[in-house]
Amino acid sequence: MLRTAPIRSLHRGSQASRGVKVPHRTFLSPRQSSSRPLERYNINRLSRARSEYDRDRTYFLAAGAIAGFIGIIYTGSKLWTAISLQKKQKQKRSQSEAGEEPPRGVAQLDSAGGTGPFVTEAGTKRKMVIHGEDGQELVPTGNSTVPEFPRLLELQAPPSSEPAEAVSASAKTGGSLSPVASTLHDASGVEYTLVGLGLRSVSFLHINVYVVGFYVATADIAALQRHLVSKVNPIATTLVPSERDALRASLLDPAEGEATWTELLHDLRCRSAIRIVPVRDTDFHHLRDGFVRAIQARSTAGKNAFGDDSFGEAMRAFRAMFNRGKVPKKKEMILCRDAKGGLEVLYEDGSGKGRQLLGRVDDERVSRLLWLNYLAGKKVASEEARKNIIDGVMEFVERPIGTVATQVV
């Protein structure tokens, strides 16, 4: 029987494919993997990632809002404090000009000279001195945490200290100094007079750290007077306003001021002290780091003078004195420099034991560089303290040499 051509070709194709095994998928056969890429989406994971992103974004925005709110409150409180302090100062000045009596329990002393209540003829701001309840003479600091500093400070004489006559005699050998006023050095200690004070602050936020005051031994003020007066006018015993202005400008100048104070500290070596009282809780390590940075910044300028091994040993001894714990606010620390330039650190923790000696460094270069950090240079620890100290120096040179120890402020 004849077959058509399409049927024959189909039959031949079916015969040729009999040797090829064609896979057939059944219910129990495994699923064959496809050659096409398969994209699998985990909806739960994507949802969880989105939720975490929204949560972190919310936390970040909330932190920014809180930081901005705190910044506004801090800035407002600082402005409010400054405005309140300014109002109080204006009120005090108006009361002084009107002749009103000071508050009960506080006796205000009279100030000599000047056209204003505490201003001298050359524009020097004279220290306001008040009497506390126990009769002690106090100088207001302008800070609410540490409101006053004592005008007179009495310290036990260190064993290596020399009396004021010895300082004057050694200085007199050069033919430039005359005998200083009678010494106040006795068995009870050495009396120091406050020259100036100020507030130490750090960072651009002006965070207050401590109040610092610079004291000079009362018996050595005459030697300091004569040295400063002779620097401007060798034949004078006191300076007129124009000469005081010239001295002030030289002390404010970074280079001239540092040279003048370096000469005073290195050659004249009047006994002096720096009193530090924190206005917030701190620790010895924080204070030590600030002192060491200040000393190193000034010692790098003169490697020949400060690059020997003895200076390194002195700095190690200085660091060791501050290997201690916390320093609560209002606790007193005194850095004392004797007539040989030796440095002693005293600390009173309020335990009733009085001032305790933390240690001593005999190398005078350590105390000299530390003192310069408050007195002169392009950058000082407290610009307010530096200017106030210079105002105190102007009070010294406007009086006849040898009369400051008995002055009535």
Are 92 and 139 in a shared domain?
Answer: no
Average pLDDT over residues 175-191: 42
Specify the pLDDT at position 154: 86
Residue 82 has pLDDT above 50, yes or no: yes
114 part of a folded domain: no
- The fraction of the chain above a pLDDT of 90, given in percent, is 32
Write down the pTM of the prediction: 0.64
Q: Which residues contact 371 (CB under 8 A, 6 or more apart)?
A: 261, 265, 272, 274, 337
Last residue of a domain, one of 52, 81, 100: 100
Residue 321 CA to its chain's centroid (Å) = 19
For the chain, state the CA radius of gyration. 39
Task: Please state, rounded to an integer, the average pLDDT across all residues of the chain.
Answer: 76
| Residue 2 lies inside a defined structural domain of this protein | no
354: pLDDT confidence band, cut at 50, 70 and 90?
A: confident
Given pLDDT bands bounded at 50, 70 and 90, which one contains residue 26?
low
Q: What is the CATH number of the domain that holds 307?
A: 3.50.70.10
Whether residues 199 and 307 share a domain: the answer is yes
Q: Are residues 274 and 393 in the same domain?
A: yes
Model confidence pLDDT, tens digit, residues 154-172: 886 444 444 333 333 333 3
- Say yes or no: 83 and 144 in one domain: no
Boundary (domain end) residue, out of 81, 100, 119: 100
User: Which range of residues forms the domain containing residue 247?
Assistant: 135-406
**The total number of structural domains that make up the chain:** 2
Domain assignment present for 119: no
Residue 82 sits in the same domain as residue 143:
no
Select the more confidently predicted residue: 103 or 311: 311
227/285 same-domain check: yes
Q: Are residues 92 and 189 in the same domain?
A: no
Evaluate whether 361 touches 180 at the Cβ level (below 8 Å).
no
Same domain membership, residue 93 and residue 205: no
Q: Are residues 165 and 258 in the same domain?
A: yes
Are 201 and 268 found together in one domain?
A: yes
Same domain, 90 and 156: no
**Predicted local distance difference test score (pLDDT) of residue 156:** 66
Assess if residue 396 is contained within a domain: yes
Is 207 among the domain residues? yes
Q: Domain check: are 314 and 368 in the same one?
A: yes
Residue 255 lies in a domain: yes
Q: Is residue 331 one of the residues assigned to a domain? A: yes
- The answer to the question of residue 157 being in a domain is yes
The pLDDT tens digits of the residues spanning 10-20 come to 455 555 455 55
Is pLDDT of 44 > 90? no
Q: Which pLDDT belongs to residue 179? A: 27
At residue 402, the pLDDT reads 74
Domain closes at, from 48, 75, 100: 100
What's the pLDDT at 58? 92
pLDDT mean over 121-126: 51
Q: Is the pLDDT of residue 357 over 70?
A: yes
What is residue 385's predicted lDDT score, i.e. its pLDDT?
Answer: 92
- Which pLDDT belongs to residue 175? 33
Tell me, what's the pLDDT at 369? Answer: 92
